[in-house]
């Protein structure tokens, strides 16, 4: 069973890589499927192995493999303006793990994870790259993504319920 989980961890790390490459530019914004992949990973693998999978994804990017959006990689991506959202995926995994353990509600755990990712990303962006108020930082780096991420969360939840017994 442990070998199966390790293989699934690697497979879902690859899914995160693939989904980060799928970019849809809309004006100055770029939408990826990273959030969808992270939530699906957590939903199907659970908090422990899902967080491990996200950690593998971040480690691959940190060593320079082009696994992040725009086929980029390296520590610079983890320390850049959007680096907080990358770290936010890892925090989201931990939050999902705890929320799901306490409530046994996948929707609540996914929502909690998404809010945690937003919080880490926005705090990072405000602290290092934005000189306005925190509210203004939220308007810039969170608000435009709320509706698309709600759709991604809904799709991840739907697929989690359909595929969980297969995984």
Q: Which domain holds residue 15?
A: 2-163
pLDDT in tens, the chain (167 residues): 889 999 999 999 999 999 999 988 888 888 999 999 999 999 999 999 999 999 999 999 999 999 999 899 999 999 999 999 999 999 999 999 999 999 999 999 999 999 999 999 999 999 999 999 999 999 999 999 999 999 999 999 999 999 999 98
CATH classification of the domain holding 138: 1.10.1760.20
CB 12 within 8 A of CB 41: yes
Chain-centre distance for alpha carbon 128: 20
Domains: count for the chain: 1
**pTM for this predicted structure:** 0.95
Cα(101)–Cα(155) distance, rounded to whole angstroms?
22
Q: Do 92 and 114 form a contact (C-beta atoms < 8 A)?
A: yes
């Amino acid at each position: 069973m442990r070998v199966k989980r390790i293989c699934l961890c690697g497979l879902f790390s690859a899914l995160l890589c693939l989904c980060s490459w799928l970019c849809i530019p809309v004006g100055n914004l770029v939408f990826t499927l990273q959030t969808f992949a992270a939530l699906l990973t957590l939903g199907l693998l659970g908090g422990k192995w899902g967080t491990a999978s996200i950690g593998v994804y971040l480690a691959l990017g940190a060593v320079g493999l082009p696994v992040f959006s725009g086929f980029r990689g390296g520590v610079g991506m983890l320390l850049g303006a959007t680096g907080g959202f990358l770290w936010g995926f890892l925090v989201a995994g931990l939050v999902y793990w705890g929320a799901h353990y306490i409530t046994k509600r996948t929707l609540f755990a996914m929502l909690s994870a998404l809010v945690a990712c937003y919080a880490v990303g926005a705090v990072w962006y405000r602290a290092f790259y934005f000189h306005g108020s925190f509210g203004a930082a939220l308007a810039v780096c969170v608000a435009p993504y709320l509706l698309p991420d709600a759709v991604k969360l809904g799709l991840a939840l739907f697929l989690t319920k359909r595929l969980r017994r297969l995984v």
